């Protein structure tokens, strides 16, 4: 394991800042990218359906196409990779992948898997609920990806400013997925500036408003 992954979580959280200027000469290896995505995938999700897909841009030509879609944010072409986090509106289709193997391996009783499947399918009758699940759960994976990147010695910035419709059209994203955010990942050319936070005691409500 990369020694940088042994940083304690508090250090990773405190040192992670949004970086917008990257060393464009630095390339991430496929092994590093796979490791990053694997760590992001360990994020929790409702019913373990893993309501996300990661569209990874590591080709410079693809990133150049992405630049105008991201309204000219230069980090798109300077970062080592850009990850489009896609929210899965049909994560209920992951039921076989998630539960059937567990049943076959004897790790989950079939009747429990059947009960859970019924709960999931009922929930997915409401498209609004399916959309809420897609965005809330994919956001967990996105944050985990940024923390994992920092632990690996990389910096990130999450971008909500992009033309979602153009991203879908240009890169042939299936209707099952909705772009949630773009995340630039790479080596900082200039450190991100720490941002102030509202005092914690102003952000906590104990038990009830």
| pLDDT tens, position by position, 188-209 | 998 888 888 999 999 999 999 9
Give the closest residue to 134 by CA, choosing from 91, 85, 98: 91
What integer is the mean pLDDT of 166-181? 98
CATH of the domain at 136: 3.40.109.10
Per-residue model confidence (pLDDT) at position 191:
85
Q: Is residue 170 part of a domain?
A: yes
Q: Tally the domains of the chain.
A: 1
Q: Is residue 118 part of a domain?
A: no
Give the pTM.
Answer: 0.92
Angle between helices 30-40 and 127-151 (to 10 degrees): 130
Q: Is residue 117 part of a domain?
A: no
Q: Is residue 42 part of a domain?
A: yes
Q: Is residue 106 part of a domain?
A: no
Query: Is the model's pLDDT at 158 over the cut of 80?
Result: yes
Q: Is residue 47 part of a domain?
A: yes
Q: Is residue 111 part of a domain?
A: no
C-alpha distance across the termini of the chain, in Å: 46
Q: By residue range, what is the domain housing residue 38?
A: 18-92+124-203
């Amino acid at each position: 394991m990369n020694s940088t992954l042994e940083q304690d979580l508090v250090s990773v959280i405190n040192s992670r800042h949004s970086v917008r200027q990257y060393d464009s000469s630095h390339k991430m290896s496929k092994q590093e990218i796979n490791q990053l995505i694997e760590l992001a995938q360990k994020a929790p999700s409702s019913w373990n359906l893993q309501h996300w897909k990661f569209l990874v841009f590591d080709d410079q030509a693809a990133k150049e196409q992405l630049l105008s879609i991201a309204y000219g944010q230069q980090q798109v072409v300077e970062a080592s990779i850009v990850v489009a986090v896609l929210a899965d509106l049909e994560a209920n289709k992951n039921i076989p992948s998630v539960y059937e193997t567990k049943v076959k391996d004897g790790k989950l009783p079939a009747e429990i898997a059947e009960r859970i499947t019924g709960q999931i399918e009922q929930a997915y009758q409401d498209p609004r609920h399916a959309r809420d699940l897609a965005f809330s759960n994919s956001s967990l994976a996105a944050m985990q990806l940024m923390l994992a990147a920092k632990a690996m010695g990389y910096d990130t910035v999450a971008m909500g400013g992009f033309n979602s419709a153009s991203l879908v059209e240009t890169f042939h994203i299936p209707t099952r997925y909705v772009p949630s955010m773009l995340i630039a990942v790479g080596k900082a050319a200039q450190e991100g500036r720490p941002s102030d936070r509202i005092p914690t005691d102003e952000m906590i409500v104990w038990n009830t408003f």
